[in-house]
């Protein structure tokens, strides 16, 4: 993988802060033109844990998709050079469907501090607001929740509904809160999803040439409208901890969110005994 196709540190920091990274129109038009027929036919399932290199037949549409340089570079940057496939699926929202999916995360409560799965979502058509699009809540991925516990929430400040050009690929942290919106258009909406599991430690897998660019800290300091004034700060803490794990640098802490609550000095300074009956120190 050529370094120019890997994500930059600023892009990785954006993913850590937002829980998502989108690449507009990254899939060529000729592939998008083939996609609907391919997705209508279905893509055969594979067992959980199948190596990505063995998941899709040689020359197949899905293999060509994940081997596009920008897509392959993002996969390697996020989960490493040899991930496995958790599952993949074709999602079709029918025209005038009249039903939306509840807000949810694609995982039970996940307590891994420095590892995460990534979901690729590919949209072969232009997605308009009338077609619904995928709703997601930026910055929600590190808020520990259990699958559909968030389903009772209807609208959150700062949520987004995806509208995009054909050929767009979005990478999501598996914990982000999201849901498919209803399709009010006269066109069926297609999306192909793949969930990847890392098989290596997710440490500095991207192009780190800009690791100390001030824009990295700026991305990691993003505060989203739905965050509570107090509890929302925990998201910043969790974000810094994840970045420390991804970089292998536990000193990174621009605003000292982590340092303030983990500082435990080890140096001991001897003090004169406060016990009046203790033997006096020798002169």
CA separation for the pair 248, 254 (Å, rounded): 15
CATH top class, domain 3-197? mainly beta
Q: Which of 116, 121, 92, 93 is nearest to 26 (CA)?
A: 121
Strands of the chain (E only): list them: 20-23, 50-51, 84-93, 118-123, 134-136, 160-161, 168-173, 178-180, 189-197
Q: Write out pLDDT tens, residues 204-227.
A: 999 999 999 999 999 999 999 999
pTM: 0.91
Q: What span, in angstroms and rounded, lies between the C-alpha atoms of 4 and 69?
A: 9
For residue 26, name the pLDDT band (cuts at 50, 70, 90). very high
Over the stretch 122-161, which tens digit does the pLDDT of each residue have?
999 999 999 988 999 999 999 988 889 999 988 899 999 9
Measuring CA to CA, which residue among 242, 199, 19, 21 is closest to residue 112? Answer: 242
Is 104 in contact with 177 (CB distance < 8 Å)? yes
CA distances from 115 to 106, 146, 240 (A): 15, 17, 14
The pLDDT score that the predictor gives to residue 59 is 96
Angstrom distance (rounded) from CA 258 to CA 134: 33
């Amino acid at each position: 993988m050529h370094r120019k196709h890997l994500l930059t540190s600023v892009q990785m920091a954006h993913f850590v802060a937002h829980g998502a990274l989108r690449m507009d129109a990254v899939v060529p038009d000729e592939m998008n033109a083939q996609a609907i027929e391919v997705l209508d036919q279905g893509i055969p399932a594979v067992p959980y844990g199948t190596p990505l290199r063995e998941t899709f037949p040689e020359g197949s549409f899905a293999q060509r998709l994940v081997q596009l340089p920008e897509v392959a570079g993002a996969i390697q940057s996020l989960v490493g050079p040899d991930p496995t496939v958790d599952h993949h699926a074709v999602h079709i929202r029918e025209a005038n469907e009249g039903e939306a999916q509840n807000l949810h995360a694609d995982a039970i409560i996940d307590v891994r501090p420095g590892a995460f799965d990534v979901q690729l979502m590919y949209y072969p058509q232009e997605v308009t607001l009338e077609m619904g699009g995928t709703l997601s809540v930026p910055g929600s991925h590190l808020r520990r929740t259990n699958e559909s516990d968030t389903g009772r929430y209807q609208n959150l400040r700062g949520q987004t509904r995806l509208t995009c050009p054909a050929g767009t690929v979005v990478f999501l942290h598996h914990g982000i809160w999201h849901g498919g919106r209803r399709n009010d258009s006269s066109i069926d909406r297609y999306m192909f999803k793949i969930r990847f599991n890392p098989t290596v430690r997710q440490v500095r897998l991207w192009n780190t040439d800009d690791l100390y660019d001030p824009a990295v800290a700026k991305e990691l300091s993003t505060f989203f409208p739905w965050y509570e004034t107090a509890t929302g700060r925990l998201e910043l803490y969790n974000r810094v901890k994840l970045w420390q794990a991804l970089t292998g640098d536990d000193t990174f802490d621009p605003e000292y969110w982590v340092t303030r609550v983990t500082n435990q000095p080890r140096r001991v300074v001897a003090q004169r005994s406060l016990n009046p009956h203790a033997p006096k120190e020798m002169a």
